[in-house]
A and B are shown apart, each in its own frame.
Chain A
Amino acid sequence: MIRLETPLTVEQTDSMQIGDQFEIFGRVLCGRDAVLPRIIRCIRKGDPGVEKLELVGAVIFHTAVSPAGIGPTTSNKAEIEESIPELAAAGVRIHLGKGSLGRETIKSLAANHSIFAVTPPLTALFSHRITATEVLAYPEEGMEALFAIKVEGLPGIVAAAHGRNIFNK
Protein backbone atom coordinates (compact mmCIF):
# COMPACT_ATOMS: atom_id res chain seq x y z
CA MET A 1 0.00 0.00 0.00
CA ILE A 2 1.54 3.30 -1.14
CA ARG A 3 1.11 6.28 1.19
CA LEU A 4 0.50 9.57 -0.64
CA GLU A 5 0.45 12.96 1.06
CA THR A 6 -0.99 15.91 -0.85
CA PRO A 7 0.08 18.01 -2.68
CA LEU A 8 1.62 15.39 -4.95
CA THR A 9 4.73 15.78 -7.10
CA VAL A 10 5.22 14.81 -10.73
CA GLU A 11 7.76 12.23 -9.57
CA GLN A 12 5.20 10.56 -7.32
CA THR A 13 2.62 10.02 -10.04
CA ASP A 14 5.29 9.15 -12.63
CA SER A 15 6.44 6.30 -10.38
CA MET A 16 2.98 4.74 -10.08
CA GLN A 17 1.76 1.86 -12.24
CA ILE A 18 -1.67 0.44 -12.99
CA GLY A 19 -2.79 -1.91 -10.21
CA ASP A 20 -0.87 0.00 -7.51
CA GLN A 21 -2.93 0.43 -4.33
CA PHE A 22 -2.58 3.64 -2.35
CA GLU A 23 -4.01 5.69 0.49
CA ILE A 24 -4.22 9.47 0.34
CA PHE A 25 -3.58 11.73 3.32
CA GLY A 26 -4.29 15.46 3.23
CA ARG A 27 -6.45 17.76 1.11
CA VAL A 28 -8.69 16.33 -1.63
CA LEU A 29 -10.95 18.36 -3.94
CA CYS A 30 -14.41 16.94 -4.53
CA GLY A 31 -16.39 17.84 -7.64
CA ARG A 32 -18.46 16.23 -10.37
CA ASP A 33 -20.72 17.02 -13.37
CA ALA A 34 -21.95 20.39 -12.12
CA VAL A 35 -18.70 22.13 -11.20
CA LEU A 36 -15.85 20.57 -13.22
CA PRO A 37 -16.97 22.26 -16.50
CA ARG A 38 -17.25 25.56 -14.61
CA ILE A 39 -13.64 25.26 -13.43
CA ILE A 40 -12.55 24.54 -17.00
CA ARG A 41 -14.30 27.70 -18.21
CA CYS A 42 -12.43 29.69 -15.52
CA ILE A 43 -9.09 28.15 -16.58
CA ARG A 44 -9.76 29.07 -20.22
CA LYS A 45 -10.64 32.66 -19.27
CA GLY A 46 -7.51 33.01 -17.12
CA ASP A 47 -9.68 33.72 -14.08
CA PRO A 48 -7.33 34.54 -11.14
CA GLY A 49 -9.74 32.70 -8.81
CA VAL A 50 -8.44 29.40 -10.17
CA GLU A 51 -5.17 29.84 -8.25
CA LYS A 52 -7.07 29.72 -4.97
CA LEU A 53 -8.20 26.19 -5.80
CA GLU A 54 -4.55 24.99 -5.62
CA LEU A 55 -4.86 22.59 -8.53
CA VAL A 56 -1.11 21.91 -8.81
CA GLY A 57 -0.42 18.59 -7.11
CA ALA A 58 -4.10 18.11 -6.30
CA VAL A 59 -6.30 15.05 -6.13
CA ILE A 60 -9.84 15.49 -7.49
CA PHE A 61 -12.40 12.97 -6.29
CA HIS A 62 -15.46 12.67 -8.56
CA THR A 63 -18.06 12.77 -5.81
CA ALA A 64 -20.79 14.86 -4.29
CA VAL A 65 -20.42 15.78 -0.62
CA SER A 66 -23.59 15.49 1.41
CA PRO A 67 -24.81 14.47 4.85
CA ALA A 68 -25.03 10.95 3.38
CA GLY A 69 -21.24 10.99 2.88
CA ILE A 70 -19.02 10.66 -0.18
CA GLY A 71 -18.58 8.01 -2.87
CA PRO A 72 -17.37 7.89 -6.46
CA THR A 73 -19.64 8.73 -9.34
CA THR A 74 -18.97 7.40 -12.84
CA SER A 75 -16.00 9.28 -14.29
CA ASN A 76 -16.93 8.62 -17.94
CA LYS A 77 -19.98 10.87 -17.72
CA ALA A 78 -19.49 13.44 -20.49
CA GLU A 79 -19.02 16.53 -18.32
CA ILE A 80 -16.58 14.78 -15.98
CA GLU A 81 -14.42 12.99 -18.54
CA GLU A 82 -14.25 16.06 -20.81
CA SER A 83 -12.79 18.07 -17.92
CA ILE A 84 -9.97 15.63 -17.18
CA PRO A 85 -7.42 16.64 -19.87
CA GLU A 86 -7.48 20.35 -18.98
CA LEU A 87 -7.45 19.69 -15.25
CA ALA A 88 -4.46 17.40 -15.74
CA ALA A 89 -2.73 20.15 -17.73
CA ALA A 90 -3.49 22.55 -14.86
CA GLY A 91 -1.58 20.29 -12.47
CA VAL A 92 -4.12 17.84 -11.04
CA ARG A 93 -2.13 14.65 -10.39
CA ILE A 94 -4.86 12.12 -9.48
CA HIS A 95 -8.43 11.94 -10.81
CA LEU A 96 -10.29 9.54 -8.54
CA GLY A 97 -13.64 8.02 -9.52
CA LYS A 98 -14.98 4.85 -11.05
CA GLY A 99 -15.57 3.26 -14.46
CA SER A 100 -13.29 3.26 -17.49
CA LEU A 101 -12.06 6.27 -19.50
CA GLY A 102 -11.62 6.72 -23.26
CA ARG A 103 -8.30 6.25 -25.06
CA GLU A 104 -7.81 9.97 -25.79
CA THR A 105 -8.39 10.89 -22.14
CA ILE A 106 -5.84 8.32 -21.03
CA LYS A 107 -3.31 9.71 -23.52
CA SER A 108 -3.86 13.21 -22.15
CA LEU A 109 -3.23 11.97 -18.62
CA ALA A 110 0.09 10.44 -19.67
CA ALA A 111 1.12 13.67 -21.39
CA ASN A 112 0.49 15.62 -18.18
CA HIS A 113 2.07 13.30 -15.55
CA SER A 114 -1.39 12.60 -14.24
CA ILE A 115 -3.16 9.32 -13.40
CA PHE A 116 -6.72 7.99 -13.06
CA ALA A 117 -7.62 5.85 -10.07
CA VAL A 118 -10.76 4.08 -8.94
CA THR A 119 -12.25 3.33 -5.56
CA PRO A 120 -15.36 1.43 -4.51
CA PRO A 121 -18.34 3.30 -3.01
CA LEU A 122 -17.25 2.76 0.60
CA THR A 123 -19.33 5.53 2.07
CA ALA A 124 -19.54 4.20 5.63
CA LEU A 125 -15.82 3.42 5.70
CA PHE A 126 -14.93 6.80 4.12
CA SER A 127 -16.88 8.58 6.86
CA HIS A 128 -14.24 7.36 9.34
CA ARG A 129 -11.46 8.86 7.24
CA ILE A 130 -12.72 12.40 6.64
CA THR A 131 -11.48 14.92 9.20
CA ALA A 132 -12.73 18.21 7.68
CA THR A 133 -15.04 19.47 4.94
CA GLU A 134 -15.34 22.94 3.39
CA VAL A 135 -17.15 24.42 0.39
CA LEU A 136 -14.53 26.03 -1.88
CA ALA A 137 -16.70 27.35 -4.73
CA TYR A 138 -20.17 27.29 -6.35
CA PRO A 139 -22.19 26.82 -3.13
CA GLU A 140 -25.40 27.25 -5.17
CA GLU A 141 -24.81 23.72 -6.54
CA GLY A 142 -25.56 22.26 -3.10
CA MET A 143 -24.05 18.79 -2.68
CA GLU A 144 -22.51 19.19 -6.14
CA ALA A 145 -20.53 22.33 -5.16
CA LEU A 146 -16.73 22.22 -5.23
CA PHE A 147 -15.57 20.97 -1.83
CA ALA A 148 -12.18 20.52 -0.21
CA ILE A 149 -12.02 17.71 2.32
CA LYS A 150 -9.20 16.50 4.54
CA VAL A 151 -8.70 12.74 4.65
CA GLU A 152 -6.66 10.21 6.55
CA GLY A 153 -6.21 7.20 4.28
CA LEU A 154 -8.63 7.59 1.35
CA PRO A 155 -7.98 4.36 -0.63
CA GLY A 156 -7.69 3.81 -4.39
CA ILE A 157 -6.21 1.66 -7.15
CA VAL A 158 -4.40 3.10 -10.18
CA ALA A 159 -6.54 2.34 -13.24
CA ALA A 160 -4.76 4.40 -15.94
CA ALA A 161 -1.14 5.56 -16.01
CA HIS A 162 1.54 6.08 -18.67
CA GLY A 163 -1.03 5.49 -21.41
CA ARG A 164 -1.95 2.06 -20.04
CA ASN A 165 -5.43 1.15 -18.86
CA ILE A 166 -6.26 -1.57 -16.32
CA PHE A 167 -9.64 -2.13 -18.01
CA ASN A 168 -8.06 -3.31 -21.32
CA LYS A 169 -4.96 -5.07 -20.07
Chain B
Amino acid sequence: MITENEIREAVKSCLVEAGTTYRRDQFDAYERAIGAEKETYCRWVLEQILENGRIAKEEQLPLCDDTGIPHVIIEVGEECELPKKWLAAIKVGIADGLRQLPGRPMAVLGNDIERVEQSHGLDDDPAGLAPAPFITRSVEGSQLKLTVLMLGGGPEIRAKTRRIFHRRSIRNVLGEAASWLKEEVGSLGCTPTIIAMGIGRSQVEASALMLEAMAKGRLDRQNELETFVTAEINDTHVGPLGLGGHTTALGCFLRIGPARASGVRIVSARPCCLVEPRRGTVTLG
Protein backbone atom coordinates (compact mmCIF):
# COMPACT_ATOMS: atom_id res chain seq x y z
CA MET B 1 0.00 0.00 0.00
CA ILE B 2 1.12 3.55 -0.68
CA THR B 3 2.43 5.18 2.50
CA GLU B 4 1.73 8.61 3.95
CA ASN B 5 5.41 9.45 3.64
CA GLU B 6 5.50 8.54 -0.06
CA ILE B 7 2.55 10.87 -0.68
CA ARG B 8 4.13 13.69 1.32
CA GLU B 9 7.49 13.41 -0.50
CA ALA B 10 5.82 13.11 -3.91
CA VAL B 11 3.71 16.23 -3.39
CA LYS B 12 6.75 18.19 -2.20
CA SER B 13 8.75 17.16 -5.29
CA CYS B 14 5.85 17.98 -7.62
CA LEU B 15 5.49 21.46 -6.13
CA VAL B 16 9.20 22.23 -6.47
CA GLU B 17 9.25 20.87 -10.02
CA ALA B 18 6.22 22.98 -10.92
CA GLY B 19 7.86 26.15 -9.58
CA THR B 20 11.28 25.66 -11.15
CA THR B 21 11.09 23.60 -14.32
CA TYR B 22 9.85 24.14 -17.85
CA ARG B 23 8.90 20.91 -19.58
CA ARG B 24 10.61 19.90 -22.85
CA ASP B 25 7.57 20.98 -24.93
CA GLN B 26 7.79 24.47 -23.36
CA PHE B 27 11.52 24.83 -24.12
CA ASP B 28 10.87 23.68 -27.71
CA ALA B 29 7.96 26.12 -28.14
CA TYR B 30 10.15 29.02 -27.03
CA GLU B 31 12.90 27.95 -29.47
CA ARG B 32 10.33 27.98 -32.29
CA ALA B 33 9.03 31.39 -31.20
CA ILE B 34 12.53 32.90 -31.28
CA GLY B 35 12.88 31.72 -34.86
CA ALA B 36 9.57 33.36 -35.80
CA GLU B 37 10.28 36.83 -34.41
CA LYS B 38 11.99 39.50 -36.52
CA GLU B 39 12.04 42.44 -34.07
CA THR B 40 15.31 42.38 -32.09
CA TYR B 41 13.76 43.22 -28.73
CA CYS B 42 11.02 40.59 -29.11
CA ARG B 43 13.67 37.96 -29.77
CA TRP B 44 15.68 39.27 -26.83
CA VAL B 45 12.68 38.86 -24.50
CA LEU B 46 12.16 35.25 -25.62
CA GLU B 47 15.87 34.47 -25.31
CA GLN B 48 15.89 35.89 -21.77
CA ILE B 49 12.85 33.77 -20.86
CA LEU B 50 14.67 30.66 -22.10
CA GLU B 51 17.84 31.60 -20.23
CA ASN B 52 15.81 32.14 -17.06
CA GLY B 53 14.26 28.70 -17.59
CA ARG B 54 17.67 27.05 -17.93
CA ILE B 55 19.03 28.70 -14.76
CA ALA B 56 15.85 27.88 -12.80
CA LYS B 57 15.98 24.21 -13.82
CA GLU B 58 19.71 23.82 -13.20
CA GLU B 59 19.75 25.57 -9.83
CA GLN B 60 16.20 24.70 -8.71
CA LEU B 61 15.28 28.39 -8.37
CA PRO B 62 11.75 29.80 -8.81
CA LEU B 63 10.96 30.68 -12.43
CA CYS B 64 9.01 33.72 -11.22
CA ASP B 65 8.87 35.53 -7.88
CA ASP B 66 5.08 35.11 -7.89
CA THR B 67 5.46 31.45 -7.10
CA GLY B 68 1.70 30.97 -7.25
CA ILE B 69 -1.13 29.41 -5.27
CA PRO B 70 -0.98 25.59 -5.01
CA HIS B 71 -3.81 23.72 -6.76
CA VAL B 72 -3.90 19.94 -6.52
CA ILE B 73 -5.64 17.46 -8.83
CA ILE B 74 -5.99 13.96 -7.38
CA GLU B 75 -6.81 11.00 -9.63
CA VAL B 76 -7.59 7.97 -7.47
CA GLY B 77 -7.78 4.50 -8.97
CA GLU B 78 -10.96 2.63 -8.06
CA GLU B 79 -8.81 -0.24 -6.74
CA CYS B 80 -6.29 2.03 -5.01
CA GLU B 81 -5.67 1.47 -1.29
CA LEU B 82 -4.81 4.64 0.53
CA PRO B 83 -3.42 5.20 4.03
CA LYS B 84 -5.72 6.68 6.65
CA LYS B 85 -4.20 10.18 6.62
CA TRP B 86 -3.56 10.51 2.90
CA LEU B 87 -5.25 13.91 2.54
CA ALA B 88 -3.28 15.26 5.51
CA ALA B 89 -0.10 13.92 3.86
CA ILE B 90 -0.88 15.98 0.73
CA LYS B 91 -1.30 19.12 2.84
CA VAL B 92 2.00 18.52 4.66
CA GLY B 93 3.73 17.82 1.33
CA ILE B 94 2.52 21.18 0.02
CA ALA B 95 3.86 22.97 3.11
CA ASP B 96 7.21 21.17 2.71
CA GLY B 97 7.36 22.12 -0.96
CA LEU B 98 6.54 25.77 -0.29
CA ARG B 99 9.39 25.96 2.24
CA GLN B 100 11.85 24.22 -0.08
CA LEU B 101 11.01 26.15 -3.29
CA PRO B 102 10.89 28.71 -1.50
CA GLY B 103 7.40 30.01 -2.17
CA ARG B 104 6.74 33.72 -1.85
CA PRO B 105 5.46 34.39 1.70
CA MET B 106 2.24 36.04 0.58
CA ALA B 107 -0.43 34.57 2.85
CA VAL B 108 -2.49 37.45 4.30
CA LEU B 109 -3.07 37.33 8.07
CA GLY B 110 -6.13 38.35 10.07
CA ASN B 111 -9.87 37.85 10.28
CA ASP B 112 -12.20 37.95 7.26
CA ILE B 113 -12.23 41.72 6.97
CA GLU B 114 -8.53 42.15 7.76
CA ARG B 115 -7.64 39.63 5.07
CA VAL B 116 -9.75 41.38 2.44
CA GLU B 117 -8.30 44.77 3.39
CA GLN B 118 -4.78 43.35 3.87
CA SER B 119 -4.51 45.40 7.05
CA HIS B 120 -3.02 42.84 9.46
CA GLY B 121 0.23 41.95 7.73
CA LEU B 122 1.56 38.87 5.96
CA ASP B 123 2.71 35.47 7.17
CA ASP B 124 6.54 35.24 7.01
CA ASP B 125 6.30 31.49 6.48
CA PRO B 126 5.91 30.45 2.81
CA ALA B 127 4.01 27.40 4.10
CA GLY B 128 1.32 29.69 5.48
CA LEU B 129 -0.15 29.75 1.98
CA ALA B 130 -3.16 27.42 2.04
CA PRO B 131 -3.79 25.38 -1.13
CA ALA B 132 -7.04 25.80 -3.07
CA PRO B 133 -9.68 23.10 -2.48
CA PHE B 134 -8.50 19.83 -4.04
CA ILE B 135 -10.10 18.41 -7.18
CA THR B 136 -10.56 14.64 -6.99
CA ARG B 137 -11.38 12.28 -9.84
CA SER B 138 -12.10 8.57 -9.73
CA VAL B 139 -10.24 6.66 -12.47
CA GLU B 140 -9.73 3.02 -13.41
CA GLY B 141 -6.89 1.02 -11.89
CA SER B 142 -5.04 0.90 -8.60
CA GLN B 143 -2.77 3.92 -8.79
CA LEU B 144 -2.80 7.39 -7.25
CA LYS B 145 -1.87 10.24 -9.59
CA LEU B 146 -1.14 13.65 -8.10
CA THR B 147 -0.68 16.88 -10.05
CA VAL B 148 0.38 20.11 -8.37
CA LEU B 149 -0.21 23.35 -10.28
CA MET B 150 1.05 26.75 -9.12
CA LEU B 151 -1.28 29.52 -10.32
CA GLY B 152 0.08 33.06 -10.53
CA GLY B 153 -1.84 36.24 -9.77
CA GLY B 154 -1.68 38.03 -13.13
CA PRO B 155 -3.64 35.43 -15.10
CA GLU B 156 -6.20 35.20 -12.28
CA ILE B 157 -7.00 38.90 -12.69
CA ARG B 158 -7.74 38.28 -16.37
CA ALA B 159 -9.41 34.85 -16.41
CA LYS B 160 -13.17 34.67 -17.03
CA THR B 161 -15.91 32.10 -16.48
CA ARG B 162 -19.13 33.00 -18.31
CA ARG B 163 -21.90 31.64 -20.43
CA ILE B 164 -21.81 31.54 -24.21
CA PHE B 165 -24.79 30.91 -26.52
CA HIS B 166 -23.30 28.13 -28.64
CA ARG B 167 -25.68 28.49 -31.64
CA ARG B 168 -24.77 24.87 -32.45
CA SER B 169 -21.23 25.83 -33.44
CA ILE B 170 -18.00 25.00 -31.57
CA ARG B 171 -16.28 27.74 -33.57
CA ASN B 172 -18.81 30.19 -32.23
CA VAL B 173 -18.06 29.15 -28.65
CA LEU B 174 -14.29 29.22 -29.07
CA GLY B 175 -14.38 32.44 -31.08
CA GLU B 176 -16.36 34.25 -28.39
CA ALA B 177 -14.09 32.98 -25.61
CA ALA B 178 -11.06 34.01 -27.66
CA SER B 179 -12.57 37.49 -28.01
CA TRP B 180 -12.63 37.86 -24.20
CA LEU B 181 -9.00 36.89 -24.05
CA LYS B 182 -7.97 39.19 -26.87
CA GLU B 183 -9.07 42.07 -24.64
CA GLU B 184 -7.02 40.74 -21.74
CA VAL B 185 -3.68 39.58 -23.17
CA GLY B 186 -2.57 43.15 -23.92
CA SER B 187 -2.65 44.03 -20.22
CA LEU B 188 -1.31 40.68 -19.02
CA GLY B 189 2.28 41.93 -19.42
CA CYS B 190 3.74 38.43 -19.15
CA THR B 191 3.18 37.18 -22.70
CA PRO B 192 3.55 34.83 -24.53
CA THR B 193 0.55 33.18 -22.96
CA ILE B 194 -0.86 29.68 -23.14
CA ILE B 195 -4.65 29.72 -23.17
CA ALA B 196 -6.31 27.26 -20.79
CA MET B 197 -9.98 26.64 -21.42
CA GLY B 198 -12.70 24.41 -20.01
CA ILE B 199 -16.24 23.96 -21.35
CA GLY B 200 -18.82 22.52 -18.96
CA ARG B 201 -22.29 22.80 -17.45
CA SER B 202 -21.65 24.99 -14.43
CA GLN B 203 -19.17 27.64 -13.31
CA VAL B 204 -17.45 25.15 -11.00
CA GLU B 205 -17.29 22.40 -13.60
CA ALA B 206 -15.96 24.70 -16.32
CA SER B 207 -13.27 26.01 -13.94
CA ALA B 208 -12.28 22.46 -12.95
CA LEU B 209 -12.04 21.47 -16.62
CA MET B 210 -9.90 24.54 -17.29
CA LEU B 211 -7.58 23.45 -14.46
CA GLU B 212 -7.44 19.91 -15.85
CA ALA B 213 -6.56 21.35 -19.26
CA MET B 214 -3.58 23.05 -17.57
CA ALA B 215 -2.64 19.74 -15.96
CA LYS B 216 -2.79 17.64 -19.13
CA GLY B 217 -2.06 19.94 -22.07
CA ARG B 218 1.05 19.67 -24.23
CA LEU B 219 2.41 22.19 -26.69
CA ASP B 220 3.67 19.44 -29.00
CA ARG B 221 0.17 17.91 -29.28
CA GLN B 222 -2.22 20.65 -30.36
CA ASN B 223 -5.52 19.67 -31.97
CA GLU B 224 -7.39 21.67 -34.59
CA LEU B 225 -9.55 23.53 -32.04
CA GLU B 226 -6.56 24.48 -29.90
CA THR B 227 -4.70 25.68 -33.00
CA PHE B 228 -7.75 27.80 -33.92
CA VAL B 229 -7.75 29.55 -30.52
CA THR B 230 -3.98 30.10 -30.67
CA ALA B 231 -4.27 31.70 -34.11
CA GLU B 232 -7.06 34.01 -32.88
CA ILE B 233 -4.88 35.23 -29.99
CA ASN B 234 -1.81 35.64 -32.19
CA ASP B 235 -3.87 37.85 -34.51
CA THR B 236 -3.68 40.54 -31.80
CA HIS B 237 0.09 40.94 -32.34
CA VAL B 238 0.47 41.81 -28.67
CA GLY B 239 3.71 39.81 -28.79
CA PRO B 240 6.24 38.94 -26.10
CA LEU B 241 5.85 41.20 -23.05
CA GLY B 242 3.27 43.23 -25.02
CA LEU B 243 5.99 44.68 -27.26
CA GLY B 244 4.40 43.55 -30.54
CA GLY B 245 5.36 40.64 -32.79
CA HIS B 246 4.08 37.25 -33.83
CA THR B 247 4.13 35.28 -30.60
CA THR B 248 1.31 36.32 -28.29
CA ALA B 249 0.29 32.72 -27.55
CA LEU B 250 2.43 29.58 -27.64
CA GLY B 251 -0.62 27.34 -27.68
CA CYS B 252 -3.95 26.43 -26.12
CA PHE B 253 -4.99 23.67 -23.72
CA LEU B 254 -8.70 22.87 -24.14
CA ARG B 255 -10.86 20.39 -22.21
CA ILE B 256 -14.49 19.78 -23.03
CA GLY B 257 -16.69 18.05 -20.43
CA PRO B 258 -20.25 16.77 -20.44
CA ALA B 259 -23.00 19.01 -21.83
CA ARG B 260 -26.61 19.62 -20.82
CA ALA B 261 -29.55 20.15 -23.15
CA SER B 262 -29.41 23.92 -23.49
CA GLY B 263 -28.50 26.73 -25.86
CA VAL B 264 -25.77 27.74 -23.43
CA ARG B 265 -22.31 26.42 -22.59
CA ILE B 266 -20.31 27.61 -19.58
CA VAL B 267 -16.73 28.45 -20.55
CA SER B 268 -13.80 29.12 -18.25
CA ALA B 269 -10.84 30.72 -20.00
CA ARG B 270 -7.52 31.74 -18.47
CA PRO B 271 -4.55 33.41 -20.19
CA CYS B 272 -1.65 31.66 -18.46
CA CYS B 273 1.50 33.76 -18.05
CA LEU B 274 4.84 33.01 -19.67
CA VAL B 275 6.02 30.68 -16.89
CA GLU B 276 2.77 28.69 -16.83
CA PRO B 277 1.22 26.22 -16.64
CA ARG B 278 3.61 25.37 -13.79
CA ARG B 279 2.90 21.77 -12.95
CA GLY B 280 4.44 18.66 -11.49
CA THR B 281 2.88 15.20 -11.71
CA VAL B 282 3.63 11.91 -10.02
CA THR B 283 2.00 8.47 -10.09
CA LEU B 284 2.19 6.23 -7.01
CA GLY B 285 1.31 2.57 -6.56
Contacts and interface: CB of A to CB of B under 8 A. Distances in A.
Interface in A47-102: 63-64, 66-76, 97-100
Contact of B52 (A67, A122, A141): A122
Given A66-B104, A97-B189, A143-B105, 13 more contacts: A21-B41, A68-B101, A69-B61, A69-B62, A73-B154, A99-B187, A99-B188, A121-B66, A121-B274, A122-B51, A124-B56, A167-B186, A167-B242
8 contacts: A66-B65, A72-B189, A120-B241, A121-B65, A123-B65, A124-B61, A157-B241, A157-B243
A124 B63 contact: yes
Contacts of A157: 41, 44-45, 241, 243
Interface in B41-87: 41, 44-45, 48-49, 51-53, 55-56, 59, 61-67
B244 A120 contact: no
A140 B63 contact: no
B139 interface: no
Contacts of A123: 52, 56, 61-65
Nearest to B104: A68
B199 to A, nearest CB: 28
A37 interface: no
Nearest to A127: B61
Contacts of B124: 142
Given A99-B242, A100-B242, A124-B52, A68 B67 contact: yes
Contact of B189 (A63, A74, A124, A166): A74
> Which of B52, B67, B103, B124 counts the most A-chain CB atoms under 10 A from its CB?
B52
B243 A63 contact: no
A120 B52 CA distance: 10
Contact of A67 (B122, B126, B273): B126
A164 to B, nearest CB: 13
Interface of B: 20, 41, 44-45, 48-49, 51-53, 55-56, 59, 61-67, 101-106, 118, 121-122, 124, 126, 154, 157, 186-190, 240-244, 273-275
A128 interface: yes
Contacts of A120: 45, 48-49, 52, 190, 240-241, 274
Interface residues of A, number: 40
A74 B65 contact: no
Interface in A3-59: 19, 21, 34
A133 to B, nearest CB: 13
Interface string A96-133: 01111000000000000000001011111101100000
B105 A124 contact: no
A98 to B, nearest CB: 3
Nearest to B67: A68
B154 A74 contact: yes
Contacts of B52: 120-125
B63 A143 contact: no
Contact of A68 (B55, B65, B243): B65
Nearest to A118: B241
B100 to A, nearest CB: 11
A118 B189 contact: yes
Contacts of A127: 55, 61
A63 B186 contact: no
Most central of B59, B65, B121, B190 by chain A CB within 10 Å: B65
B105 A125 contact: no
A155 B241 CA distance: 13
Nearest to A67: B102
Q: Which of A97, A99, A120, A169 has the most CB of B within 10 A?
A: A120
Given A74-B187, A98-B189, A128-B55, A142 B105 contact: yes
A122 B61 contact: no
Contacts of B41: 19, 21, 157
B256 to A, nearest CB: 31
Nearest to A144: B122
